[in-house]
Amino acid sequence: MNQYDYIIVGSGIAGLYTALLAKKQGSVLIITKSSIDDCNTKYAQGGIAAAIGKSDSPELHFQDTIAAGDGLCDEEAVRILVNEAPDRVTDLVNFGVPFDTVNGEVALTIEAAHSMPRILHAGGDATGEHIEVNLSRRVRSSKIRVLEDCLATEILIEKSTVKGIKALDCRTGSTEEFDCRFLILATGGAGQLFKFNTNSDIATGDGITLAFKAGTEIVDMEFFQFHPTALRLPGVTPFLISEAVRGEGGILRNVDGHRFMPDYAPEEDLAPRDIVARSTLYEMKKTGSDRVFIDVTHLPPHVIATRFPHIYRFCLDHGLDITKGLIPVAPAAHYMMGGIKTNTWGETNIAGLFATGETACTGVHGANRLASNSMLEVLVFSKRIMEKTSTGATTKATSSKGVGVHHLVGQRQSPKVIPAPSLSALQQLHWDKVGIIRTKEGLTKAANILAAWQRSLPQPTDRPSYELNNLVLTGQLVTEAALLREESRGAHFRSDYPQSSSSWQHHIVFTSK
């Protein structure tokens, strides 16, 4: 019972889509620490980018992705992404995902840093939910075994090759080992590092920690994308206000009503996310406020209600009619662009171990993810993992050598005053010191505290303690990478090194071995 061809850790779009492909090639087990339906995917409002419009092309999509990545995209991976996009969208249609149409044609919208409309949506701003529901329903009706409330705690390796996984039953506290030929990590991101974030509470860097401890390479961790517009209401968890709202004509205004983005960027409200997030932060400081506003009151009410039904209803439930009033927003942590280093087949530097989705770093996002490329990345590279494993061979990606390969700093100065390690203390620390605008002083302080926590944390025994341990280690990787990169590039901004530097046009890789 405990031997499988494929074990997949995680049940978002990456885990479910990969599992549905894998079941055609062998036995499959999904391990997920919560419910199969609890993931970041269902909160994804933006959509999926694909060059399927009459005037669009993979080449234009390639150019936009490279430009957003600010010098650090893997061009081969980006070529694969944009060329295979239309076929992967067709896969979702075949799985029953109901993409929005206008007059019988798939409706395409535009988002920041895209040169033309190429974003497909389902149910307006409910794209992720439609995909998740369709895929999870198919998984539940298949012969795929799903272990819910089960947390993967250790990758088992024998003779430099994956043997299986050890997992904790979060309900009983018992542990069990499962063997496999191929192990695929699809655990999502680490948004819970930050006090303000748009992620589900499951996004605690679990895959990063599992992989790092097993000896895989972790890359580009300094590049964490902050979404410029999350709903900011007292007592309300940050709720994403999709970039597509600005794509439809939404205008950013400060508390005085001034439209401020033309002051910061020629693209105005549709500038790249990192620029809008920093500009918003500057404007908040300038006006002494904890928020700015998106104004859609000039748009027809029926357009807002039908194009953004989730956002419209959520705001209405909290006493705000966005067709008549401004939407209060502020930046929040959103997407981890770095992760487990893979090649274009999803392989890591350990034979038999693969990664896909937000926990993986394929190289397509570079220093700054182009909007709506993330769900596409999942589809393209999960499919390629299946193509690679269909041959039955266990290979591995080439290990990095030389420039940019680091180990975590073993001995850091212990601060005189250290707050007790807790989720809230960790989130506040990252928001204050490792957030949108960084400095050497702040990053050093955070690194010292994280190192002290790492030394003092007891051996984890349950899901909360494992998650805190995972966040501390993931936070160390983010912080140390940000401290090393003495420049500003993409989503990583150092006020003490505000310009990008050609000498830093390379990746920072961490390994524990």
Residue with tokens 């002051």: 263
Residue 401 has a pLDDT of 80
Residue 359 has a pLDDT of 98
β-strand 339-341 against 360-361: which pairing, if any? parallel
Q: Averaged over 273-299, what is the pLDDT?
A: 96
pLDDT band at 44 (very low <50, low <70, confident <90, very high): low
The residue among 34, 358, 122 whose CA lies nearest residue 220 is 358
Please state which of the ranges 134-143, 205-214, 428-437 shows the lowest mean pLDDT: 134-143
β-strand 224-231 against 150-158: which pairing, if any? unpaired
pLDDT digits (tens, 9 = 90+) for 93-129: 888 889 999 888 889 988 878 999 999 998 887 788 8
Structure tokens that stand for 347 in this block: 């392989």
Residue 349 has a pLDDT of 96
Q: Averaged over 374-388, what is the pLDDT?
A: 96
The helix (H) or strand (E) run that includes residue 5 is: strand 3-9
Fold designation for 231-332: Flavocytochrome C3; Chain A, domain 1 (3.90.700)
Q: Averaged over 394-416, what is the pLDDT?
A: 84
Residues 6+ apart with CB under 8 A from 392: 181
Q: How far apart are the first and last CA of the chain?
A: 33
> Is 273 annotated as catalytic?
yes
**pLDDT higher than threshold 80 for residue 42:** no
Structure tokens that stand for 434 in this block: 């490792």
Q: Averaged over 495-512, what is the pLDDT?
A: 97
Q: CA-CA distance, 146 to 28, in Å (whole number)?
A: 9
Fold designation for 405-510: Methane Monooxygenase Hydroxylase; Chain G, domain 1 (1.20.58)
Phi and psi for 280 in degrees, rounded to 5? -60, -45
Q: Are 334 and 225 in contact (CB under 8 A)?
A: yes
Amino acid symbol at 344: T
Per DSSP, the three-state class of 121 is coil
Structure tokens that stand for 396 in this block: 């591995």
* Cβ neighbours of 105 (radius 10 Å): 10
Residue with tokens 């439930």: 317
Q: Are 466 and 168 in contact (CB under 8 A)?
A: yes
pLDDT band at 259 (very low <50, low <70, confident <90, very high): very high
Q: CA-CA distance, 24 to 65, in Å (whole number)?
A: 32
pLDDT band at 46 (very low <50, low <70, confident <90, very high): low
If 0-12 CB within 10 Å is exposed, 13-18 middle and 19+ buried, where does residue 296 land? buried
pLDDT band at 255 (very low <50, low <70, confident <90, very high): very high
The residue among 54, 23, 134 whose CA lies nearest residue 386 is 23
Phi and psi for 143 in degrees, rounded to 5? -95, 15
For the chain, what are the domain ranges? 231-332, 405-510
Which residue intervals of 46-149 are DSSP H helices? 58-69, 75-94, 127-140
Residue 247 has a pLDDT of 86
Which residue intervals of 328-410 are DSSP H helices? 374-389
pLDDT digits (tens, 9 = 90+) for 120-162: 998 887 788 888 888 889 999 998 999 999 999 999 999 999 9
Let me know if the fold of 231-332 is the same as that of 405-510: no
Structure tokens that stand for 350 in this block: 């350990």
Residue 103 has a pLDDT of 87
**pLDDT higher than threshold 60 for residue 219:** yes
pTM of the model: 0.95
pLDDT band at 417 (very low <50, low <70, confident <90, very high): confident
Residue 395 has a pLDDT of 77
Q: Are 155 and 183 in contact (CB under 8 A)?
A: yes
Q: Are 215 and 46 in contact (CB under 8 A)?
A: no
Q: Averaged over 296-300, what is the pLDDT?
A: 97
Residue 28 has a pLDDT of 98
- Which member of 232, 273, 384, 463 is catalytic? 273
Phi-psi region of 76 (alpha: psi -120 to 50; beta: other; left: phi over 0): alpha
Phi-psi region of 104 (alpha: psi -120 to 50; beta: other; left: phi over 0): left
Strand ordering across the sheet containing 224-231: 224-231, 327-336, 292-295, 251-253
Most confident of 30-34, 102-106, 393-397: 30-34
Q: CA-CA distance, 151 to 173, in Å (whole number)?
A: 10
Structure tokens that stand for 202 in this block: 């499951």
Q: CA-CA distance, 207 to 152, in Å (whole number)?
A: 9
pLDDT band at 43 (very low <50, low <70, confident <90, very high): low
The residue among 155, 227, 186 whose CA lies nearest residue 8 is 186
The residue among 337, 351, 336, 346 whose CA lies nearest residue 214 is 351
pLDDT band at 37 (very low <50, low <70, confident <90, very high): low
**pLDDT higher than threshold 70 for residue 40:** no
Structure tokens that stand for 504 in this block: 């830093």
